[in-house]
Amino acid sequence: MKQEDIKEKVDLYLKNREHKKRYASFDYCFNYFKTSDINKDLEKSCLVLATYLASWGMFRGSSFLLQEKSLAHFIPTIQYINKLKNDRPEIWDIDVHNYNDQNINTILDIYKEIQERFTENHTHLTLVTKILLGVFGFIPAFDRNFRSTFSRFFIDDKNCGFTKVDKNSLKYIKIFYEENKEQIDDLSNKIYTIDFFDGKSTQTHYPKSKIIDMYGFQKGIEIELQKKNKFQP
């Protein structure tokens, strides 16, 4: 379970996190929802979240967001996030190191609430976890690359292919963190979000869940490429 290449993969990922490059979209989204009065300008809040999701392909092709929805579709989700910010600001302190029963249940409750408001029974796993990562920073995004990486780490458990967000999948992310705590904590302490306006580092550290997300995503790119090459004639 202990991995020696976490810093290597994270450094590779961060090469695409310059001020005007795609991967910086996480920084701008996370900074905004962590520090701004998001209900003051609903339209801007919707735009920030939509731009972040678009940068990660959530509007591509046959996506229901691209085919069916306007920006106003985001309003109920933004209003829900704003209520959490007003009533339960401590939610932004949840991260993988404190995945206890209470915090895991909180994550699952928020996942369900946003799923119901946002996806309308469409495919939702990657989309909703992208939202949770970009807004709260307390869970990696369960996209294809991440799932390819982590399903290999826990291949012996047939009940956890990271195809859904549940107590089991969060438990295994916590196990991965504990096995690699020194590397992950060190990276989280050293990596800061960058500011939208000037591209300089802020005082906000990258969440530990984002470190795990970057590692799973970058390593998953290599795994998927290996699969593709294996089956090419």
Please tell me the least confidently modeled range out of 108-112, 127-131, 160-164: 160-164
pLDDT of residue 233: 58
- C-alpha dihedral sign at 131, 45, 119, 89: positive
Cα separation, 65 vs 60, whole angstroms: 8
**Considering the chain, what percentage of its residues have pLDDT values greater than 70?**
93
Over residues 77-106, the pLDDT tens digits come to: 999 999 999 999 999 999 999 999 999 999
Over residues 140-183, the pLDDT tens digits come to: 999 999 999 999 998 877 777 799 999 999 999 999 999 999 99
pLDDT of residue 120: 67
The residues, ordered by sequence, that sit 6+ positions from 12 with a Cβ below 8 Å of its Cβ are 218
Inform me whether the pLDDT recorded for 122 exceeds 60: no
Work out the pLDDT band at 123, boundaries 50, 70, 90: low
Which ranges constitute the DSSP H helices of the chain? 6-14, 25-35, 42-55, 64-68, 75-87, 101-118, 125-135, 144-153, 167-179, 181-190, 208-231
Inform me whether the pLDDT recorded for 3 exceeds 90: yes
Mean pLDDT over 62-84 rounds to: 82
Q: What is the mean pLDDT of the chain?
A: 92
CB atoms within 10 A of CB 42: 16
Mean pLDDT over 105-133 rounds to: 89
Over residues 187-208, the pLDDT tens digits come to: 999 999 999 999 999 999 999 9
Cα separation, 9 vs 211, whole angstroms: 10
Over residues 212-231, the pLDDT tens digits come to: 999 999 999 999 888 777 66
- Token pair recorded at residue 158: 């047939």
